[in-house]
Structure 1
């Protein structure tokens, strides 16, 4: 089910295309949110802190793969908009083997260096074995994370944002059921929560791969294209590497913040683990809208419809600001109740720390919303390197301020460093966009 994004009402086209992507990514968040809820409620604060810290590590490593798939998706959508189906399929084949190879290598590195990685993260001794158990199991499913994201970005590039949603919905439901069975029923602890997630990833990754091969014959590359793979490596590598660096730098910065948070003890770790899940869930629609905007931009840029790209940019900025302002108000007002979803109300200190985080960062979601749009815009117009620059500014500011100020003034400075980084990156991104348009004019 392909959909051409180069015609029709700009606002309506983007919203209809983005809606399944937003819902799908919210379902994807349910993987770890379900773990967090059940672990926090049934296994205690120590297990919650371990799973939360492991989630940050998992997000960083899988972000490398997601970035590679995201970057290659920009190439597919460009050629789809250009009506060059042959070149699109050649790019697909090259990307599959390139990213698949990186996935296998990453798996080997993680399993070989797991103890070194946990030591670098400064995981407290009382949480070390819990986190190691969770990480060891969770990374058994990394190849299926690659499969889901590869085929998901491929289908989205040709305008099909609905099919990935179906597979995520099924796997999220399975994840919830298995979490309850493994953790509550069988008492398998954090390993059971990880196993539930891995089985769900197998369903989503394997399922969407089989569907695409059987139901989308027009996306199957021919054997003759294997000979042309080398011709496409440079282009795929440029887009994929830039997006992967952008994603991994972003999550590496978060990983460094996690290391600093860990130094403040179990209560802060547990609060941060719960608050980050709420945080991610709250601004995830803006992130996926930015990804949808990127595909819209790439298809129209490939079709030579630059005025439609400009109109889409204006509409996207308005939509994002309205949504993020609304979510900021909700999170600010409901912060204590949101924390109590994951944390026992009796744990007053953990809830208080989490509420403070949400009321500082949550008031500034417009900053991250605009940044997601900028990432999408620069990927879509063939300047993926600029997304890396913006990420370095955002995360560099965050990490630098947090490490300088938090040891002296407390954990609150970690929370304030995050929106400051967003604002600086936004200013840079819009300034560069205006500068490029002025030069072109």
Structure 2
């Protein structure tokens, strides 16, 4: 990505990632469709309620994944073979250790967390069974994401896409088989996820072992050296902390959502699944920008980074606008895939319309923060995310629902949850532009 037209290189690299995000979102969406159609709206709500807790307990892997991607892309761009080899080995070992930690801790805290979050009694057992099954196979899920990130850091987004497609298709087949045929219920959906992601992780590892053209896979490199552990923590810890704070904030917001009951929880699940598709350009361009910036910073091409940031963000905004319109036009048909309840479809569509105005702003946020991360400045995105989620998102959600309380609706209006999210996106984009234009990210390269 250090040669040729920057925008063309970004788009070329982004397209497989966008397709990958389609399959990633399809992966999550099929889980919801299967439980909603075959089990019911309460099961759909259960899977949604478990999501924030799952993300909160996976922050270790999120930090490792971000740090690994940046290290790999910069060492790859600088053509430093031994450093690249040792950094990959360090990341693999740290992922294994983190898996053991999460497997030991997670089963002990899931039920207390669910009760703390006011999870309705109708769905709490389903939530607990779903989470316990996922945590039993957490190593496969962790390596699935981190090894895929390494492949993308090496510029091989096609292989990462292929393995994601394999995992998605396998997950769909297993979801239907475990739930519809074997009657395993919500835990069956989690089991399908574990098996599918483990298969993809094995394929990704085998692909990495064959990349002898740019690095070596030796047992000696699996020992996490101090230099690479420090770099991994330096680059990954801010993102991990960001994700932890974000996840904790979402847990708090989920607690508020739970107070509205199973139907509103199910509404939130449906909207967030559709929202995931609309947000795909933002996350895909953001990830492509990170790799683009990392490789060009490593090659000493700061001019290309700035050009790519400006033009790439404009292309991303246009792409998001088109997809947003399509989703708003045909959203009801998509929402009907999740449930047979007309009132649930109608409420979900209204919430989706509220969010529509904010998606272009999210393109700006993800693209510019992606550039900053790729350049090695992971602290700025961390602080921006902290402010957006902790200082703005959570207080706004509680304040706006509190302001609309009435005897008929003692918890306030549910739609205010989504109005507060829209305002958070708009404010976050404004702050990101200001920080990016200050230019401190230009002095943060690790090499």
TM-score range for the pair, normalised by the shorter chain length: over 0.9
How far apart, CA to CA, are the structure 2 residues paired with 1:226 and 1:254?
35
Query: Offset at 1:216?
Result: 4.3
Q: Is the 8 A contact 2:144 2:200 kept in 1?
A: yes
Query: 2:419 maps to which residue?
Result: 416
CA contact (8 A) 2:130 2:190 kept: yes
For 1:155, the equivalent position in structure 2 comes to: 151
For residues 392 and 136 of structure 1, what CA distance do their matches in structure 2 show?
29
Q: Is 1:399 matched with 2:394?
A: yes
Alignment partner of 1:193 is 2:189: yes
The answer to whether structure 1 residue 73 and structure 2 residue 76 are counterparts is no
Q: Which has the higher helix share?
A: 1
Q: Compute the displacement of 1:194 (Å).
A: 1.5
- State the partner residue of 2:96: 100
Task: Look up the match of 1:388.
Answer: 382
Closer/same/farther in 2, CA of residues 36 and 310 from structure 1, 3 Å limit: same
Report what 1:53 is aligned to.
49
Which residue does 1:172 correspond to in 2?
A: 168
Structure 2: distance between partners of 1:352 and 1:156: 39
What's the Cα RMSD here?
A: 2.0
The alignment covers a number of residue pairs equal to: 434
Q: 1:150 to 1:261 in 2, by over 3 A?
A: same
Q: Which residue of 2 aligns with 1:33?
A: 29
Q: Is residue 2:361 matched to residue 1:358?
A: no
Give 1:298 shift.
0.7
Deviations 1:180-210 (A, max 9, x none): 1111111221122221111111111122112
**How many Å apart are 1:294 and its aligned residue?**
0.5
3-state DSSP class of the match of 1:382? Answer: coil
What is aligned with 2:115? 119
Q: Structure 1 CA distance, aligned partners of 2:51 and 2:302?
A: 40
In the TM superposition, residue 336 of structure 1 has moved relative to its aligned partner by 2.1
Is the 1:175–1:196 Cα contact (8 Å) retained in structure 2?
Answer: yes
- Hey, what's the Cα distance between the residues in 1 that align with 2:348 and 2:195? 30
Give the distance between the partners of 1:183 and 1:156, measured in 2 at CA.
33
Q: C-alpha distance in 2, partners of 1:27/1:7?
A: 29
Aligned with residue 260 of structure 2, among 245, 259, 264: 264
User: What residue ranges of structure 2 are gaps of 5+ in the alignment?
Assistant: 405-412
Name the counterpart of 1:280: 276
Per the alignment, residue 427 of structure 1 pairs with 430
Q: Tell whether the 8 Å contact from 1:25 to 1:288 is kept in structure 2 after alignment.
A: yes
Counterpart for residue 299 of structure 1: 295
SS in 2 for 1:383: coil
Of 352, 356, 363, 1:369 maps to 363
User: Distance between the aligned counterparts of 1:69 and 1:116, measured in 2?
Assistant: 28
Q: Look up the SS of the partner of 1:342 in the other structure.
A: coil
Q: Which runs of 5+ in 1 are unaligned?
A: none
Which range is displaced more, 208-217 or 431-440? 431-440
State the partner residue of 1:232: 228
Report the CA distance shift for 1:69/1:111 in structure 2 as closer, same or farther (over 3 A): same
Question: Is the 1:91–1:232 Cα contact (8 Å) retained in structure 2?
Answer: yes
Partner residue, 1:337: 333
SS of 2:328's partner is helix
Other-structure match for 2:312: 316
2:40 equivalent in structure 1? 44
1:331-386 Cα offsets, whole Å, 9 max, x none, are 22223222212121xx2332222112100112310122211112211111111001
Structure 2 SS opposite 1:126 = coil
Q: Is the contact between residue 130 and residue 187 of structure 2 (CA under 8 Å) also seen in structure 1? A: yes
Seen in structure 2, the aligned counterparts of structure 1 residues 255 and 374 have a Cα distance that, compared at 3 Å, is farther
Q: Would the alpha carbon gap of residues 178 and 9 (structure 1) be closer, same or farther in structure 2, given more than 3 Å must change? A: same
| Separation in structure 1 between the aligned mates of residue 156 and residue 134 of structure 2, nearest angstrom | 29
User: TM-score normalized by structure 2?
Assistant: 0.92
- For residue 425 of structure 1, report the CA deviation from its aligned partner: 1.8
**Higher mean Cα deviation, 44-53 or 85-94?**
85-94
- Assess, with a 3 A threshold, how the Cα gap between structure 1 residues 379 and 92 changes in structure 2: closer, same or farther: same
Q: Distance in 2 between matches of 1:191 and 1:54?
A: 12
Q: For residues 288-333 of structure 1, what are the alpha-carbon distances to aligned partners after superposition, in whole Å with 9 as ceiling and x for unaligned? A: 2210111000110111101100110012111111011112222222
SS of the equivalent of 1:125 reads coil
Match of 2:231, SS state, is: helix
